[in-house]
Chains A and B, each alone.
Chain A
């Protein structure tokens, strides 16, 4: 039997009586976004189906299809299986589980709701974090028969991690425990203990049955002992985050510079927090330039005031530089800029985090290059324990320091989701590989200076009467890199140039003896060599390096470390068959026999340079001729 209140939702009498009045009322609805999280059998999809059904968002044709589907593939016998309304994609319906994030919509008289349906299966932390990132509220489902499970802890931890302040504990399937208050109270007690331990201070607990409809839209006769709100009543009345955002200091990340003609220059973006009015003194970050708002321009006319959440175009009284990625903030309380941060990272890609490798970072409207240090620790999302970690795998959550290639305006995530939340993008595949949250900056970039030395790099270079450079030889093992590098150094020495040769094998005997040959270690190997080469160019030297350096991303990283124009990528280009035939060190033989793992060209990839400064075709040139060619390019 269904225990619902009168169907007051949507089929309001006003629709038939006075449609204009109805529209007027409904134009003033607010919006609440929430997520539902639960394990595979907690009845999540059933609950969402029920909300859609009870708010009359299901039409007759859908209901007819639903009834037919329920009989064919449903799991509720002859009764309506509400879950079928929600489980979308064909493959999932066959498996009987939801595997991605789906968004559902319904509305009552007071609010429009967007529900993110996020799966409860172990391997899909990624999806839940995605769904939670835009949510104002999280609805944590518990099966009354099972109580607080490992999954409950995980979902609560993730919701809290992503900063959701409204947590609703819905104890579902109360019909299957005889609507027993003792069961409900025991679960709430259990959950309170756990919630407090991870920092969730308040939550609302509601006993429901998604299947039967108890305490969904109104009080249920089956739970006379429960005096709190029904689920829908609670969803209609909680405060949404966007309201509190308006009270914070003004910040707007610039998306686009609007310049239709020479007379108009405006800066378009969505206000992250705060309020702005013409006449407000503002500061543009990271440049630090100040001006005053002259106009707030919209299609519907200029505004006297705009608040958090609105998309507007701002004009300044002064012609100051401002472009995409900059943040306009109130001058008396501007955002800070920094280039090193402690962050919490959720890894979302099959390919694990490679500490040291450069990734794109998108934060607000900025896109910068970032490198992630080895994690300080990883969090076990079931027990909240901190575990030692060298990397982060798919669905792992960890805390790690990051550094950006330039100072960026930011705010800690807890203060500002828009200026503290970021994604990481793989530079080669363009996949979104991680989501992250800035905890705090490690230092204010503008307070930290490179230790200024009295003898400058220019002095070092001019004393040696040369221009510093890094000659970066890359190629397969056995291509002849070391041989050519040696010859280049000899020739330069004869020309009285000051040089230093960093050889792959030699460095691995000392500086990098702790590193192996996994992808992560190869990245770190090249990062360290890059840093050493950079210091040597500061000392005025011409540095010659001979490393396989198989990945484009790391070679690009070194290119960006050293001063512009000082990096020469030299591809020692040998066909794999030739290198293997030569096999001076016998390594290919070992690799083919399976005795040597992760060998470049055999079971580990080599990514050839796309646009090297110099390309040496070893099938056409001898080592001597190659060295000659390189020196000629360097010193014409």
Chain B
């Protein structure tokens, strides 16, 4: 083998599926199982790149039918504007209903990431998700989590069972063998289903590139207004709102930098990276040469120390 990447393994024949073809076929299989066995499925759609891949796979799984379930966006009102734009367009293009849920209590109390810290994620997302699932009576929810993202996710099943109060018990998971998924549950109980569990970040990027899938432009570098907080770069997506929350006199210094995002969430919680990568191949190139892992840009993993994601998941966070 040489550094120019010539393959000396057995030649790729038509019978031999590539890793992306195998991953795609597995995800489609999972989605069809859910639709066949669940009473009222829904797809959680967060507008990120993983959601984009998941939605694309759903279109493939049920073609020529549109995906036979709605999209649900559990919103915090603090997402980037560009995310709201793509969200509405993607749902329309797929011919699917889009449900947007706001936790009324969080809305009423004006919960925001600046003043309320971890409560922001807890109220808008964790509580909001539970409320939305109960409100609509969904018994199976697709989520775009991947096992390579975080240690506790590496052990979660593809069909992840939740009690009537939405709790996950990592010690009482159903064994998952072959491609046989046990989707049976009692009334009130539900499943979270992760069809792209076995995809890695690189798989996602490669697939987006290969399939020419629309993603939020924030993933590509451009000059954007930014500020520094706790050593991380953030983008100002709504300056009026920022002023209102932190106060005009306490505004951070805003500088235009060429930045992009590796993951997308609430704009005040999502760290940007300085970058010149303006196309998908450039983003992939930068990712492969970079030396920090993906979730580093998200503040959420760090509150509560090492086991924080596991704890959040037990409480019902995705």
Query: Which A residues are closer than 8 A to B by beta carbons?
Result: 8, 10-16, 19-23, 25-31, 59-62, 88-91, 93, 100-105, 107, 109-112, 114, 126-127, 129-130, 133-134, 236-237, 239, 242-243, 246-247, 255-256, 258-260, 264, 266, 268-270, 275, 297-300, 305, 307-311, 313, 324, 348, 360, 362-363, 365, 417-418, 421-423, 425, 430-432, 435
Compute how far the CA of A428 lies from the CA of B174 in the bound complex, rounded to whole angstroms: 15
Tell whether A15 pairs with B155 under 8 Å between CB atoms, given A23-B284, A270-B179. Answer: no
**B292 touches which of A61, A111, A239, A417 (Cβ 8 Å):** A61
- Contact between chains at A21 and B289 (CB < 8 Å): no
The residue of chain A having its C-beta at the shortest distance from the C-beta of B9 within the complex is A110
Q: With both chains docked as a complex, state the minimum distance between the C-beta of A283 and any C-beta of chain B, in angstroms.
A: 22
Which residues of chain A have C-beta atoms less than 8 A from B170's C-beta?
89, 91, 100
| In contact, B5 and A21 (Cβ under 8 angstroms) | yes
B151 and A89 contacting across the interface, CB-CB below 8 Å: yes
* Inter-chain contact A421/B177, CB cutoff 8 Å: yes
Contact between B18 and A29, CB atoms less than 8 A apart: yes
Alpha-carbon gap, A300 to B154, bound state (A): 31
Is B109 an interface residue, CB under 8 A from the partner? no
In angstroms, Cα B92 to Cα A629, docked, is 60
Partner of A107, one of B24, B200, B290: B200
Q: Is B12 a contact partner of A430 (Cβ separation < 8 A)?
A: no
Would you list which residues of chain B between 111 and 149 have a CB under 8 Å from chain A? Answer: 147-148
> Can you name 6 A-B pairs with beta carbons within 8 Å?
A8-B3, A103-B155, A256-B32, A258-B62, A299-B59, A299-B63
Are B289 and A16 touching (Cβ within 8 A)? yes
Alpha-carbon distance between A435 and B15 when the two chains are bound, in angstroms: 29
- In whole angstroms, how far apart are the Cα atoms of A31 and B23 in the complex? 9
Say whether B198 faces chain A, with CB atoms less than 8 Å apart.
yes
Q: How far apart are the CA atoms of A299 and B211 in the complex, in Å?
A: 11
- Residue in chain A with minimal CB distance to B157: A101
Q: Per DSSP, are chain A's interface residues mostly helix, strand or loop, or mixed?
A: mixed
* CB <8 Å contact, A114 and B64: no
For B64, list chain A residues within 8 Å (CB).
Answer: 258, 260, 264, 266, 297
We find that the number of chain B residues with CB closer than 8 angstroms to chain A is 78
User: What CA separation (Å) do A246 and B16 show in the bound complex?
Assistant: 8
Smallest beta-carbon distance B83→chain A, Å? 25
Besides A104-B154, A111-B9, 16 other A-B contacts (C-beta < 8 A): A23-B281, A30-B17, A61-B292, A61-B296, A89-B151, A91-B171, A103-B155, A110-B7, A112-B200, A237-B9, A299-B63, A300-B60, A309-B17, A423-B175, A423-B177, A431-B174
- Which of these, B3, B21, B179, B281, contacts A310 with CB under 8 Å? B21
Interface string of B20-54 (1 = CB under 8 A from A): 11111110110011011000000000000000000
Q: Are A311 and B28 in contact (CB under 8 A)?
A: yes
Indicate which residue in A11, A27, A264 contacts B20 across the interface (CB closer than 8 Å).
A27
Assembled-state Cα–Cα distance A275/B16 (Å): 12
Chain B residues lying within 8 Å of A421, measured Cβ to Cβ, are 177-178, 180
Q: Are B17 and A242 in contact (CB under 8 A)?
A: yes
Q: Are A310 and B25 in contact (CB under 8 A)?
A: yes
Q: Count of A-B contacts with CB under 8 A?
A: 226
Q: Is the CB of B182 within 8 A of A15?
A: no
Task: Point out the residues of chain A lying under 8 angstroms from B66, CB to CB.
Answer: 260
* Shortest distance from the beta carbon of B312 to any chain A beta carbon, whole Å: 12
* Residues of B close to A28: CB separation below 8 A: 7, 12, 18
User: Which single residue of chain B is at the shortest CB-CB distance from A260?
Assistant: B65
Which of B1, B63, B65, B148 lies in contact with A298, CB distance below 8 A? Answer: B63
CB proximity of A346 to chain B, nearest CB, Å = 9
- Decide: B175 and A127 in contact? CB cutoff 8 A: yes
Q: Contacts A15-B285, A28-B18, A313-B63 given: A430-B155 contact, CB under 8 Å?
A: no
Inter-chain contacts of A266 with B (CB < 8 A): 64
Q: Min CB distance, B163 to chain A, in Å?
A: 12
> In the assembly, what is the distance between CA of A11 and CA of B289, in Å?
7
Contacts of A236 in B (CB 8 A): 9
Contact check, B28 vs A88: say whether CB atoms are below 8 A apart: no
- Which of the residues B17, B155, B200 comes within 8 Å of A307, measured between beta carbons? B17
List residues of chain B with CB within 8 A of the CB of A423. 175, 177, 180, 182
Binds A, one of B201-209, B240-248, B250-258, B263-271: B201-209
B50 nearest CB across to chain A (Å): 15
Take A29-B19, A105-B147, A255-B32 as given contacts and tell me if A134 and B292 are in contact as well, using a CB distance cutoff of 8 Å: no
Cβ–Cβ contact A27 & B18, under 8 A: yes
B interface residues, Cβ below 8 angstroms from A: 1, 3-5, 7, 9-10, 12, 14-26, 28-29, 32-33, 35-36, 59-66, 147-148, 151-152, 154-155, 170-171, 173-180, 182, 184-186, 197-198, 200, 202-203, 206, 209-210, 281-282, 284-285, 288-293, 296, 306-307, 310-311
Beta-carbon contact of A270 and B19 below 8 Å: no
Cβ B16 vs Cβ A243 within 8 A? yes
> Would A430 and B288 count as touching, CB distance under 8 A?
no
Contacting residues, chain B, for A30 (C-beta < 8 A): 9, 12, 16-19
**A31-B23, A89-B152, A255-B33 known; A126 vs B9 contact (CB < 8 Å):** no
CA distance A348 to B177 in the complex (A): 11
Interchain CB contact under 8 A, B180 and A298: no
Known: A8-B3, A23-B281, A110-B7. A90 touches B306 (CB 8 A): yes
Nearest-CB distance from A109 to chain B (Å)? 6
Closest chain A residue to B202 by CB distance?
Answer: A107
Q: With A112-B203, A435-B177 in contact, is A275–B5 under 8 Å at CB?
A: no
**A348: min CB distance to chain B, Å:** 5
Chain A residues positioned under 8 Å from B12 (CB to CB): 28, 30
A297 touching B63, Cβ below 8 Å = yes
Taking a contact as CB atoms under 8 Å apart, the answer to whether B293 and A62 are in contact is: yes
Chain B residues within an 8 Å CB radius of A425: 182, 184
- Chain B hits for A23, CB < 8 A: 206, 209, 281, 284
Are B5 and A12 in touch, CB under 8 angstroms?
yes
Distance to closest chain B CB from A365 (angstroms): 7
Least Cβ distance of B18 to chain A in Å? 5
Please list the 8 inter-chain residue pairs (A to B) with the smallest Cβ-Cβ separation, ordered nearest first: A90-B307, A31-B19, A88-B151, A60-B291, A311-B28, A246-B15, A260-B65, A59-B293
* Cβ distance A617 to chain B, nearest Cβ, rounded Å: 26
B15–A133 touching, CB < 8 Å: no
Contacting pair B36 A324 (CB below 8 A): yes
Q: Are B5 and A270 in contact (CB under 8 A)?
A: no
Return chain B residues, CB-CB under 8 Å to A110: 1, 7, 9
List of A residues within 8 angstroms of B60 by Cβ: 298-300
Whether A239 touches B10, Cβ cut-off 8 Å, given contacts A59-B293, A133-B178, is yes
In the complex, the answer to whether B282 meets A19 with C-beta atoms within 8 Å is: yes
CB <8 Å contact, B177 and A255:
no
Closest to A26 in B: B206
Measured CA separation A12–B65 after assembly (Å): 42
Nearest A residue to B20, CB-CB: A27
Docked pose: A429 CA to B184 CA in angstroms: 9
Set A15, A237, A324: member contacting B288, Cβ < 8 A: A15
Q: Tell me if A126 and B175 are in contact (CB < 8 A).
A: yes
A266 to B148, CA, bound (A): 35
**Chain A, Cβ-Cβ closest to B18:** A28
Which of A15, A29, A305, A311 counts the most B-chain CB atoms under 10 A from its CB? Answer: A311
**Is B7 a contact of A348 with CB atoms below 8 Å?**
no
Bound together, the chains give a CA A309 to CA B66 distance in angstroms of 23
Kindly provide the distance from the CB of A125 to the nearest chain B CB, expressed in whole angstroms: 11
B19 x A112 contact (CB < 8 A): yes
User: A25 near B5 (CB under 8 angstroms)?
Assistant: yes
A209 and B157 CA atoms in complex are apart in Å by 31
Q: Which residues of A contact B290 (CB under 8 A)?
A: 59
Among candidates B18, B155, B179, residue contacting A89 with C-beta atoms closer than 8 Å? B155
Give bound CA distance, A114 to B29, whole Å: 18
Indicate which residue in A15, A20, A25 contacts B7 across the interface (CB closer than 8 Å).
A25
Give the CA-CA distance A111 to B19 in the complex, in Å.
Answer: 8
Q: What's the Cα separation between A12 and B2 when bound, in Å? A: 10
Give A259 to B9 CA distance when docked, in angstroms: 42
